[in-house]
């Protein structure tokens, strides 16, 4: 099957070496899926990957955004959440971007998320969760693709 590109948007360098680009691409054979995240590489084994990379570098879909390392989480406070939810939590880490960072607790978003700085996020209205430890349950996503996970615990 030949992959025919309909459109692409939001190209971003995927690494510091600038030899891979993350881009949202819309493909003819997957048009009903809308824009899908795609990694374009000049050494891709498929011609459509190389072509998309070259077109992104040429600026056809806008300027390729600078690489920003994925987010990390070093701590959350409080470290144990109430299972009833409704709490305010401060997340400390790195590489958070205002307007481009989202938070989910075991696949549920809090009532609100505020990125205070590149190193701090405040979430309010944590969702109610059954008491227990959620391994990799805290998900931080930036620019739709760069993610990190962190454990959290809830108690009654």
**CATH number of the 72-155 domain:** 2.60.40.10
pLDDT in tens, 89-119: 999 999 898 888 889 888 889 999 999 999 9
Q: What is the dihedral of CA 15, 20, 24, 28, to 10 degrees?
A: -170
pLDDT of residue 119: 95
List where CATH 2.60.40.10 sits in the chain: 72-155
Low-confidence ranges of the chain (pLDDT < 50): none
Cα distance between residue 128 and residue 141, in whole Å: 21
Supply 12's token pair.
């971003």
CA 21, 27, 33: angle at the middle one, nearest 5? 105
pLDDT of residue 135: 82
Tracing tokens 């989910």 back to the chain, one arrives at: 104
pLDDT of residue 147: 79
Q: What is the DSSP letter of 127?
A: P
Tracing tokens 């360098």 back to the chain, one arrives at: 13
């Amino acid at each position: 099957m030949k992959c025919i590109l309909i459109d692409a948007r939001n190209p971003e360098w995927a690494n510091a070496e600038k030899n891979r680009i993350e881009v949202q691409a819309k493909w003819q054979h997957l048009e009903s899926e809308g824009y899908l995240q795609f990694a374009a590489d000049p050494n891709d084994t498929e011609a459509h990957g190389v072509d998309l990379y070259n077109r992104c570098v040429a600026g056809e879909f806008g300027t390729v955004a600078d690489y920003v390392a994925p987010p990390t989480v070093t701590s959350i406070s409080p470290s144990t959440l109430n299972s009833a939810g409704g709490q305010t939590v401060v997340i400390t880490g790195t590489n958070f971007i205002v307007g481009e960072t989202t938070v989910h607790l075991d696949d549920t978003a809090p009532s609100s998320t505020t990125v205070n700085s590149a190193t701090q996020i405040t979430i309010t209205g944590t969702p109610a969760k059954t008491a227990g430890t959620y391994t990799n349950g805290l998900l931080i996503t930036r620019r739709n693709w760069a993610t990190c996970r962190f454990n959290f615990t809830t108690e009654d």
